[in-house]
Amino acid sequence: MRRVLKNLLKALDGAPLPDPASGRSRRGQSLVELTLVMPILIIMLLGLIEIAWLANHFLILMDVSRSAARFGALSDPTLWDEGDERYLERMDCNDVDGGSYVDADNTLYLPITDYSHLPSDWFEPVGSESDIGYYDGVACAAVQDLAPLVFDTEKDDVVVSVFSFMSEDLHRNGNVGVYVTGRYPAHQNECSNETYDPFDVNDNGIGDATTENVGLMYDGIIETGPFDNSENVRGYVLTGHHQVSDAPGCIGSEFSTAEIEAMLNGANNLENSFIPNNGLVVVEMFWHHRQLLGLRFFTIIGDDFELHVWSMYPVTAAEPTATPG
């Protein structure tokens, strides 16, 4: 017992312990073991730091998307003038807080200056700022709350989509469940590879749905009006830099109307058939993450990659009305 206590005190004092067989010190053996193990421990520690850095950014983006979605939940998307989502002056946050908003570099947040990645039928600024409306208000609220992260207008994007949905047992082949009856902005809601039109509730080629407070009816196959060529943009986009992963040439939201409808229905359509008619806003953040340490060992597996986070909140102002087919 005394020997055990004596060895314990030596270990606490940093003295080398004797080898049980030879009685000699094991300092050299321990040094070799430490030399072999230390690089692995350092790599693991640096990896944990990078993971923590990524997790911190992800959580900030989640909070920002939730805050922006709450902003949208308390506002009225029906007050937005259809087509304004294509005026480039709307892709601008200068009017937030009366024009006082500055980014992390203490410079005024300006609109994007390179429009080459946007559809050709978008309208350039007309020389004066518009008051902040619904979609640009939601997107700019996200940018404003992003600190300490910096929004890069050449890479990052904010996408805002509003959906009307209802529970019915008369639509779509007689199935019971929740159905999306409209996606807004109405002229920016589909990629070219989608066959499902959000306003064609009955799948009969007719625009069956409308939003009560808007009073507009959109054709189920060819959306009428001055913005007929608006497809391949899904949702309101702030910069238009995000390319949809499963639809080449389409920018904006990663969620198709069919995917949102599947989320609303979940696993049990019958239970969801009792959900009241309502609307919802989906705010998506596309932000490019850079590693903290930038070590070659980690950058080999990827750096400056895009993080996608999103939040969904109800918007009662988008509650729909629909006509059974």
Highest mean pLDDT among 1-5, 104-108, 273-277: 273-277
Give residue-wise pLDDT tens across range 252-262.
999 998 899 88
Q: Which pLDDT score is estimated for 314?
A: 94
Is residue 237's pLDDT more than 80? yes
The single-letter code of the amino acid at 317 is A
For residues 15 and 25, what is the distance between their CA atoms, to the nearest angstrom? Answer: 9
Handedness of CA 320, 261, 188, 314 (dihedral sign): positive
Give mean pLDDT, residues 71-91: 86
- At 226, the pLDDT band (50, 70, 90 cuts) reads very low
Model-wide pTM > 0.85? no
User: Residue 120's closest CA among 227, 277, 272?
Assistant: 227
Q: How far is CA 238 from the centre of its chain?
A: 12
Top-confidence residue, 251 or 122: 251
Peptide bond into 226 cis (omega under 30): no
Mean pLDDT of the chain: 75
Band of the pLDDT at 283, cuts 50, 70, 90? very high
pLDDT value at 64 more than 90: yes
Any idea which of 44-48, 74-78, 102-106 has the lowest mean pLDDT?
A: 102-106
